[in-house]
Chains A and B, each alone.
Chain A
Amino acid sequence: MSAMAFTIKVNGVSHSVDVDSDTPLLWVLRDVLGMTGTKFGCGRALCGACTVHLDGNPVRSCVMPIESVGEAPITTIEAIGESPVGRSVQSAWLDLEVVQCGYCQPGQIMSATALLSANANPNDEDINNAMSGNICRCGTYLRIREAIKVAAKSLSSDIEKG
């Protein structure tokens, strides 16, 4: 597990970092690249606060070694608003006043965006499956569920409008 340079692509920008190959992506993002939007909560993929997208799929960056990232593009909370789905999730979050302390919300928003990108019209069960790995100690869950539905609705009306 020697130190070597890895090149990763985060939010469309390539970065070269010199860390051990087993270094979790979370700490590369936060401490090496200074992108602190992605949060540390448990270090064991138990809470979802560190969720980012790898090639569009939600992953827990706290347990993802840098060496396994490869060339897959990474998207973090800092850039999720650049996609129509991410933007509509953020906007639903604000419209419904989902947020309390806000610490887990980057992870929640990343998971919700991944869900809506794969499933434009999720039911409660779909939401449970996609979101049950994201803990919120403020208990914003009821509004998270509503906000996902609101975002789905606004996305589908955007599509209808063409």
Chain B
Amino acid sequence: MPRVPANRFKAESDGVSRRTFLAASLAAGGGLLLSMKLSLPARGAAPAISREVIGAFIRIDRDGRVHLTMPYIEMGQGTYTSISMLIAEELEVDLDQVQYEHAPPNDKFYANPLLGFQATGGSTAVRASWEPLRKAGAAARMMLVAAAAEEWKVDPRSCRAEKGEVIHGESGRRLSYGALAEKAAALPVPSEIPLKERKNFRLIGKPVKRLDTPAKVDGTALFGIDAKVPGMKIATVAACPVFGGKLKSVDDGRAMAVNGVSQVVHLEDAVAVVAQHMGAAKKGLAALDIQWDEGSHATLTTADIVGQLEAASQKRGAVARNTGNVEEALADAKTKLEAIYQLPFLAHTTMEPMNCTVHVRKDGCEIWVGTQVMTRAQSTAASITGLPPERVTVHNHLLGGGFGRRLEVDFIAQAVKIAKQVEGPVKVIWTREEDIQHDMYRPYFFDRLTAGLDAQGLPVAWHHRICGSSVIARWAPPAFKDDLDFDTIEGAVEPPYAFPNMRLEYVRHEPPGIPTAFWRSVGPSHNIFVVESFIDELAAAAKKDPVEYRLALLDKAPRAKAVLQLAAEKAGWGQSLPNASGRGVSVQNVFGTFMAQVAEVNVSKQGEVHVERVVCAVDCGITVNPDTIQAQIQSAIIYGLSAALHGEITVKNGRVEQSNFDNYRALHINEVPAIDVHIVDSDEAPGGIGEPGTSALFPAVTNAIFAATGVRLRKLPVNQALLKAE
């Protein structure tokens, strides 16, 4: 099992377990229960869950309407539906009986138990909520049943809850939740909250229609960019094209002459044009004559950064794992292999470009945005405006894609700075060019690997040194400890294989002039490519079949072994393929989920790679919404394949060279492979599902290219020139 630390973004010293998270909320006292009673102190001994925790997630009106508050944001991953299912399962209501709403920013009530504050990311939502939100639903149901039993003067055990009603078994009497809500609110929170057994689930594990989709097919869904505030103006912005550069001067005469332009706002490192509509704002921006002080990165190129990483990777790093004695085992090995693997900077390119609407007043600030980090959005605006956080209202919206980009608040900070200079509300929209050239990027990694094989070709030593940026060190500094963080090493520190001697090191090197951030499948987005490619090299050196070779190393990892066997079987592993075609495999255990993928590719004489099919086997524990799991894995595979084949951000003269979908490509419908997803039935606790499909895809494809061509790709994206037939 992966060691996912509870509250993983806090230092261990102030870490809080899920249980203490609940108890801590109780200790604060008071709370909201079923919408009726505010600030009621909990009675009796400390229960496992408090009124305020229940009330934060569930509100039942007198008319029986059930409101569920969504602590996680919806960015396409289906979380509104999955989270509603967890609560509704135990509350005994159907999904069509509930209404849901975005949670307001509040770390006390809506902290993600795995992350330590209110954030959606790292494929954590279901994992983090699995127990607490089912318990919240169960506790509320028990209190409603107790209220009915009191009303009828019967034993609560003779009553049951069903579809928003409590029913007395013998008499058949019924009372709706609405009728019981007020009475229930006065009752104590049960101290023991038993949860349903899996065999009794009505909703969990069934393919359920998503709650957020109807509004997304008729144009009524509201994303951040769709915010409408009376009197709102529209602005677009140009930040210094070189990261770290400053605004020197700007001639805004021609911009101000554009019809509809009302103002040009100067920031320290950017210029914004404010107008009646985006058409005028863009036209105004194009008419500006801007002089930048480009600063110290004005001549930076990708090669400079890679050169620095290469040099840094020569040094010994912080030791993340040291098992056995790698040096001795390497000295004794029959065969020794060495390789360098490199992964590029990547942009996120969410379909909805970065945007944020802000109204700064003397006494308060309102923000309309789609963000993965509500409370950070709030505190960012508070610090820029000098207002207390409670004076900053954040209206969250649907996210037109997140992929890690909206875990950052750079664009929110910038919009608040602009809004401070504008009278009335202003919506700041980045052009696609700005979105790509001022993204925060998946780091470039430069990894060194060494392995030793015994006479049978089995690995006796495995040495992996990661070199690159730590996103955690900037994003959650307390979690960067002893020169290590859990994210940068995830997927490399605990490979599923039995290596008798293994060392993992990490050399942190921050690239100059290019900010780094989380990107879908985060640390594993790089580690799984490296580990699963290199194990494939070991198999080839041992002249063994890649699946057989892996299986032999998985005796102590039965779940990994099972998904690998299943994927191989479903993919027809071993069956013949046409010339210049090949199958490649990967297996991983990340985000609490076991997954194997088999990719089938064809490589043309010109070196063009066509991925024909990807077969995926997944064991993500108990499934909540299997239809969402299918969709998320298809999604993650296609996201990964776009990057594997095309994704690369490069820098020249300090500037990101890519600018739009023509030179930072995404897969189109005519390029997607067939994708078969096979879900393993499992009783284990749920694992994450939004991201594992992306990390597993990279090595499956490059290993398939190796099978098809004999060319080992140790660098992404796929370089067609290396694959041309001689």
Contact = CB atoms under 8 A, between A and B. Distances in A.
Contacts of A31: 234, 276-279
Interface string A21-63: 0111011101110111111111110110100000000000000
A68 interface: no
Given A28-B279, A34-B228, A102 B219 contact: no
Contacts of A100: 76-78, 631, 635
Nearest to B277: A31
A8 interface: no
Interface in B630-685: 631, 634-639, 642, 660-662, 666-670, 672, 674-675
A143 B669 CA distance: 10
A129 to B, nearest CB: 8
B75 interface: yes
B668 A135 contact: yes
Given A20-B279, A39-B351, A128-B669, A99 B219 contact: no
A94 B283 contact: no
Contacts of A137: 349-351, 401, 403, 639, 642, 666
A90 to B, nearest CB: 5
Interface string B263-278: 0000000000000111
| Residue from the set B258, B351, B636, B675 with the largest chain A CB neighbour count within 10 Å | B351
A78 B631 contact: no
B660 A3 contact: no
B217 A109 contact: yes
Given A49-B351, A142-B634, A37 B218 contact: yes
Contacts of B260: 3, 19-20
B213 interface: yes
Contacts of B77: 100
Given A20-B259, A105-B216, A136 B351 contact: yes
Size class of A's contact patch? 35 or more
Given A31-B276, A77-B219, A137-B349, A102 B669 contact: no
A143 B349 CA distance: 21
Contacts of B213: 93-94, 97, 99, 102
A140 interface: yes
B670 A94 contact: no
A6 interface: no
Given A23-B279, A37-B218, A142-B634, A101 B399 contact: yes
B219 A76 contact: yes
B669 A134 contact: yes
B220 A37 contact: yes
A116 to B, nearest CB: 15
Counting chain B residues whose Cβ lies within 8 A of the other chain, the interface size class is: 35 or more
Contacts of B32: none
B278 A78 contact: no
A20 B277 CA distance: 11
B219 A38 contact: yes
B699 interface: no
B310 interface: no
B225 interface: yes
A42 B661 contact: yes
Contacts of A104: 351, 400
A128 B212 CA distance: 27
A132 interface: yes
A39 B672 contact: no
A89 B259 CA distance: 39
B719 interface: no
B712 to A, nearest CB: 27
B279 A135 contact: no
Given A43-B660, A81-B218, A102-B400, 15 more contacts: A26-B279, A44-B662, A47-B661, A97-B213, A99-B216, A99-B217, A100-B76, A131-B670, A133-B668, A136-B351, A137-B351, A137-B403, A139-B634, A141-B638, A143-B631
Interface of A: 2-3, 19-20, 22-24, 26-28, 30-32, 34-44, 46-47, 49, 76-78, 80-81, 90, 93-94, 97, 99-106, 109, 127-128, 131-145
28 contacts: A3-B260, A19-B279, A20-B280, A22-B283, A27-B278, A31-B277, A34-B228, A39-B352, A41-B352, A47-B661, A81-B218, A99-B210, A99-B216, A100-B635, A101-B76, A102-B213, A102-B215, A102-B216, A102-B223, A103-B401, A134-B669, A137-B639, A137-B642, A138-B639, A139-B638, A139-B642, A139-B672, A142-B634
5 nearest interchain CB pairs?
A37-B219, A139-B638, A103-B400, A101-B76, A102-B216
Interface of B: 74-78, 209-210, 212-223, 225-226, 228, 234, 258-260, 276-280, 282-283, 349-353, 398-403, 429, 431-433, 627, 631, 634-639, 642, 660-662, 666-670, 672, 674-675
